[in-house]
Chains A and B, each alone.
Chain A
Amino acid sequence: MSETRGLKSWLTTTDHKRIGLLYFWTAFGFFLIGGLEALVIRAQLARPDNHLVTAQTYNQLFTMHGTTMVFLALMPLGAAFFNFIVPLQIGARDVVFPRLNAFSYWVFLLGGLFMNASWFLPGHPAPDGGWFGYATLTERQFSPGPNIDFWLLGLQILGVASLAAGFNFIVTILNLRAPGMKMMRLPVFTWMTLVTSFLIITAFPVITVALVFLMFDRVFHTHFYIPSAGGDPILWQHLFWVFGHPEVYILILPAMGIVSEVLPTFSRKPLFGYTVIVYSGVLIGFMGWGVWSHHMFSVGLGPIADSVFALTTMLIAIPTGVKIFNWIATLWGGHIRLTTAMCFALGFIALFTIGGLSGITHASPPADLQQTDTYYVVAHFHYVLFGGTIMGLFAGMYYWWPKMTGRLLSEPLGILHFWLTFIGMNLTFFPMHLIGLLGMPRRIYTYSTDLGVDRMNLWSSIGAFMIGLGMVVFVYNLWRTRRHGAVAGPNPWNGATLEWATSSPPPPHNFDVIPTVHSRMPLWGSHPPATAGGEPVHVPPGSWWPLVAAAGLPIMALAALMHTVWIVFVGAAILLFGIYRWAYEPFEV
């Protein structure tokens, strides 16, 4: 039997639920750090010609805000729910490779710490080249310090975590479904996890190679992106966005999955057009690969490339729009309960639609040329990633918190959190549409009062601090719920999917008896599946080796940072040792 208490039990755990909690708390910590960075940015921009921070610090703040939110907060918060919820939704005892799952988490944690360690070194060499890291700015000639090295090596480490998790969840969902759980009976959240996992395993190799080229340019003085030697900085842009656009869908599809769970539960109606929603998600996954150059209209790729990518970008709005209509139709005629989770899901629909509409305005190259590098683009992607992904993730937190901890979050505090976030979010980002169209560029640390955007920037900053206040309420709610939250019971929301068929929190083995599934909404049928009784279940013990193997990677990255070859061998030896002990556990040579 695995241990359930003490530090050792957490360091060696292979239980998907505990790993899900580790992902949640780590990603939530990074989310708060990224949010604080955003607040400093908004404090700097609250009035014109401000000098709260220097231009250099500002570069580091927006670089680390973007990188942290994408790779260390939103993706792993999605992964927290993949981990905790997906095995329960398909009626499995764990993911298919529990130790690989632990490895993913440790690599993610160490990668995030590696990148953020740069803040604390002498000279504070935190990354400063933007989350997109465009060559040639990121080349050694223009970025001589270790800042960009922290960024590119950190991303390489994080890529390993994402890839390992991608393989794990693909096989888990395809192969560990309970009897009767056909593919077209899978909950939509699980479906979107599957599509996201396929996007991860196909998109991350591309950014890995792009980063290897940049690393070679910086460490070994090659010329992959250096024009004087025939290299092409546009190659970086292509490789980055070939990864970067699927990445956008990696961020939004899990939130779409969450909303597709929350809306039916609180409308007391099956999801309208389940099949179409699933196929739209799959179609978005495929089409997400064919739109990347719309990030590069200002490069001047020529009329044919611009036209093709404008067309594909407008086309991808169709499956997205289909989903929005299906969600609205799910609400129609339902017994709607306005819980906090439901409010965030409804907020998702409204705000994501606004972000989608401003996205269509970028799809037209002539319009996009006016918008590129202005606050209009910042407004657009925050409506998609905050209004979309973060609202969806909050819906998931309120919805699944009772399942994850056994206690319900406070609803009054939740509603307060929702309104502060919803109003604050619109106050922050809506004026940015106008600020951008009036000509204020992104990534510049201050602006002149002559631009005439002083007041709108001040409103935007007030909105940002309102979101911050909402976060304080949420953190208090989490803290309060530990002791004072109402005890949830197995199915507090009367949900229809299998995670609600077991206790809250579930036992280490999830289900005493693996349920047999007869429909898409097993708990709403006349014969809910039995999960009690049965033989005692053997739960495998934890393992140290995923953590040991993961520790090898940041050590290898350290070697590239310090240009010291022998450290590579130390890191590789630790990685290899961890893998061998892992492969032949319990050790018996």
Chain B
Amino acid sequence: MSHGATAHYTSMGLDSRKMAFWAFIGSECLLFGTLISTYLIYQGRSVSGPTPGEILNIPVTSLSTFDLLMSSLWMVLALAAVQRGDMKWAKVWLLGVAIGGAIFLGFQVYEFTSFVHEGLTLQTNLFGATFFVLTGTHGAHVTVGVLWMMTLWVRAMQGKLGPQHAMTVEIAGLYWHFVDVVWIAIFTLVYLLHK
């Protein structure tokens, strides 16, 4: 990395990459906001089953939600470790975040396949279309996050990630926490409050 260690002068006193990332998160809110709104508007308007009540598996999804929330905790610990220069634990927690994300994706693969076996596909009804596109978009975001965490972990293993790159890790963390918060909204609105 050619940059990172040197703190550039900025008019607002906030790192430029971090500011851009906050703008990106604001933009992403509109993306997920549109997807979630569409899901809610179409709720109960499918002309055939299966319905959310018949098919959503809340106990299993609670487990995957717990896993994703824990990965956010590990993200916090990873950043703290990088900031204090403790690269041994940074490697552990970064890998932990990546594995936590991968486990969540495994749950999603299991969920999608079992739904298809029970007769819910993209084409079955509006619930299927809105559900798969919304949770699929979220899953794609988790996938990007897992790739990002793996990249940081590989860099750490190579000895090329240190406390001077704390901002890089902090921004990856911002992404990870955002994707996690989106899941909390989806889990609440789609799973817990299903009609």
**Which of chain B's residues has its CB closest to A221's CB?**
B123
A174 touching B123 in the complex, CB below 8 Å, given contacts A201-B27, A224-B129, A230-B46: no
- Size category of the B interface is 20 to 34
User: Does the CB pair B34–A202 fall under 8 Å?
Assistant: no
User: Does the CB pair A586–B20 fall under 8 Å?
Assistant: no
A205 touching B28 in the complex, CB below 8 Å, given contacts A175-B10, A230-B126: yes
Q: Separation in Å of the A358 CB from the closest CB of chain B?
A: 31
A174 touching B28 in the complex, CB below 8 Å, given contacts A209-B34, A209-B38: no
By a CB distance below 8 angstroms, the chain B residues around A231 are 42, 126
Q: Which of A166, A206, A232, A589 contacts B158 (CB 8 A)?
A: A589
By a CB distance below 8 angstroms, the chain A residues around B31 are 205-206, 208-209
Q: Separation in Å of the A267 CB from the closest CB of chain B?
A: 30
By a CB distance below 8 angstroms, the chain A residues around B30 are 202-203, 205-206
User: Does the CB pair A170–B20 fall under 8 Å?
Assistant: yes
Q: Is B11 an interface residue (CB 8 A)?
A: yes
> Can you list, as one digit per residue, whether each of B12-26 has a CB less than 8 Å from chain A (1) or not (0)?
101010011001101
User: Does the CB pair A239–B23 fall under 8 Å?
Assistant: no
User: Does the CB pair A167–B126 fall under 8 Å?
Assistant: no
Q: How far is the CA of A208 from the CA of B151 in the complex (A)?
A: 28
By a CB distance below 8 angstroms, the chain B residues around A224 are 38, 126, 129-130
Q: How far is the CA of A171 from the CA of B8 in the complex (A)?
A: 13
Q: Is A177 an interface residue (CB 8 A)?
A: yes
A216 touching B34 in the complex, CB below 8 Å, given contacts A171-B19, A174-B11: no
Q: Is B65 an interface residue (CB 8 A)?
A: no
User: Does the CB pair B20–A97 fall under 8 Å?
Assistant: yes
By a CB distance below 8 angstroms, the chain A residues around B16 are 96-97, 171, 175-176
Q: Is B87 an interface residue (CB 8 A)?
A: no
Q: Which of A168, A202, A584 contacts B26 (CB 8 A)?
A: A202
A171 touching B46 in the complex, CB below 8 Å, given contacts A216-B122, A223-B123: no
Q: Is B41 an interface residue (CB 8 A)?
A: yes
> Can you list, as one digit per residue, whether each of B147-179 has a CB less than 8 Å from chain A (1) or not (0)?
000010000001000000000000000000000
Q: Separation in Å of the B174 CB from the closest CB of chain A?
A: 14
By a CB distance below 8 angstroms, the chain A residues around B46 are 230
**Which of chain B's residues has its CB closest to A242's CB?**
B34
A213 touching B14 in the complex, CB below 8 Å, given contacts A170-B23, A230-B47: no
Q: How far is the CA of A589 from the CA of B125 in the complex (A)?
A: 48
Q: Is B2 an interface residue (CB 8 A)?
A: yes
Q: Is A210 an interface residue (CB 8 A)?
A: yes
Q: How far is the CA of A346 from the CA of B24 in the complex (A)?
A: 38
By a CB distance below 8 angstroms, the chain A residues around B123 are 220-223
Q: Is B99 an interface residue (CB 8 A)?
A: no
Q: Is B88 an interface residue (CB 8 A)?
A: no
> Can you list, as one digit per residue, whether each of A190-230 has a CB less than 8 Å from chain B (1) or not (0)?
00000000000111111011101100100011111000011
Q: Is A163 an interface residue (CB 8 A)?
A: yes
User: Does the CB pair B129–A222 fall under 8 Å?
Assistant: yes
User: Does the CB pair B41–A235 fall under 8 Å?
Assistant: yes
By a CB distance below 8 angstroms, the chain B residues around A411 are none
By a CB distance below 8 angstroms, the chain A residues around B23 are 166-167, 170-171, 201
Q: Is B69 an interface residue (CB 8 A)?
A: no
User: Does the CB pair B133–A212 fall under 8 Å?
Assistant: yes
Q: Is B1 an interface residue (CB 8 A)?
A: yes
Give chain B's interface residues, CB within 8 Å of chain A.
1-2, 10-12, 14, 16, 19-20, 23-24, 26-28, 30-31, 34-35, 38, 41-42, 45-47, 122-123, 125-126, 128-130, 133, 151, 158
Give chain A's interface residues, CB within 8 Å of chain B.
96-97, 163, 166-168, 170-171, 174-177, 181, 201-206, 208-210, 212-213, 216, 220-224, 229-232, 235, 239, 580, 584-586, 589
Top 5 closest pairs, chain A to chain B, by CB: A205-B31, A205-B30, A222-B129, A209-B34, A201-B27
> 22 A-B pairs, CB-CB below 8 angstroms?
A171-B20, A175-B11, A175-B12, A175-B16, A181-B11, A202-B30, A204-B27, A206-B30, A206-B34, A208-B31, A209-B34, A210-B34, A213-B38, A216-B122, A216-B133, A222-B133, A223-B123, A223-B129, A224-B130, A231-B42, A235-B38, A580-B151
Q: A209-B31, A209-B38, A586-B2 are in contact. List 20 more A-B contacts (CB 8 A).
A: A171-B16, A171-B20, A174-B11, A175-B10, A176-B11, A201-B23, A205-B27, A205-B28, A205-B31, A205-B34, A210-B34, A216-B122, A216-B133, A223-B129, A230-B47, A230-B125, A232-B45, A235-B38, A584-B1, A589-B158
